Amino acid sequence: MARIFITGSSTGLGLKAGQLLAEKGHDVVLHARNEAREADARQALPEAEAIVIGDLETLAGAKGVGEAVNALGRFDAVIHNAGVYDRTFLETADGLPRMFAVNVLAPYILTAMIARPKRLVYLSSSMHSVPAHLDDPFWKTRRFNGTAAYSESKLHDTLLAFAVARLWPDVFSNAVDPGWVPTNMGGKSAPDSLADGAATQAALAAPEAGSPLADVTGEYLCKLTVRTPDRQSRDMGLQDRLVEICEGLSGLRLEPSAS
């Protein structure tokens, strides 16, 4: 049985992935932004081993979550599920766009901080096929567009997943498009199933014996199938530039695996 930590898992896709994994007997640690969300998560999945509380919106909050996770011991897998969609520009206490802080920088910080697991899963989206705009990731020179900013953040997550797969060949690191599912973000009219939307990341985090997903790394998947991502995501220069930006902001480095 595996031990898995899932960010943004008090509701929605993260919670459903936790429920799917717990049903199979895996040990699951959830994450909630605050105490109210913790109570919701505890009620929804009482068998969860623990629930880490922390707001991923700030550098301090994300680093606090990383410290709390490490205090619980080693994990076999981490699912970077937490994400936000802002229609208007919202700035964090660190002076960053909230979508970049939560959707991109927080997964980087947790990847760099948490004791290296065997498996990492990053949530992407079918909307990730947009220009990377790493020359202006904080929307300083462009007029803000919420949909474009969200789409960029999902491309950045895909870049990060592939960068980690390249830097850490001993870790299985993948990006997942969960589909358009009925969550608070996706809306009640979303056509895809919540369970189907969570199935791929759960299967990657704790693949069953003989699963064709057990050895998959550096890929983009949807509905348990490897798909072709936007070609920019394979650009190692863009991958390195994103890592460089996140390292500069956080002061944390993704140390390459020893050759």
Angstrom CA distances, 123 to 70, 111, 120, 210, 217, stand at 22, 13, 10, 24, 14
Helix, strand, coil content of the chain in percent (nearest 5): 40, 15, 45
Angstrom CA distances, 170 to 116, 125, 126, 165, 218, stand at 10, 25, 27, 8, 11
Whole-angstrom distance, CA of residue 251 vs CA of residue 50: 28
Q: How far is CA 115 from the centre of its chain?
A: 16
The one catalytic residue among 118, 154, 188, 220: 154
**The one-letter amino acid at 100:** F
Helix (H, G, I), strand (E, B) or coil at 43: helix
Whole-angstrom distance, CA of residue 180 vs CA of residue 80: 17
**Active site includes 150?**
yes
Q: If we measure between CA atoms, which residue out of 213, 177, 215 comes closest to residue 196?
A: 177
**Active site includes 220?**
no
The one catalytic residue among 150, 188, 220, 223: 150
Angstrom CA distances, 109 to 56, 84, 192, stand at 10, 17, 30
Whole-angstrom distance, CA of residue 104 vs CA of residue 216: 22
Sign (positive/negative) of CA torsion 42, 93, 175, 160? Answer: negative
CA angle at 128 for the pair 127 and 131, rounded to the nearest 5°: 120
User: Which positions are annotated as active-site residues?
Assistant: 150, 154
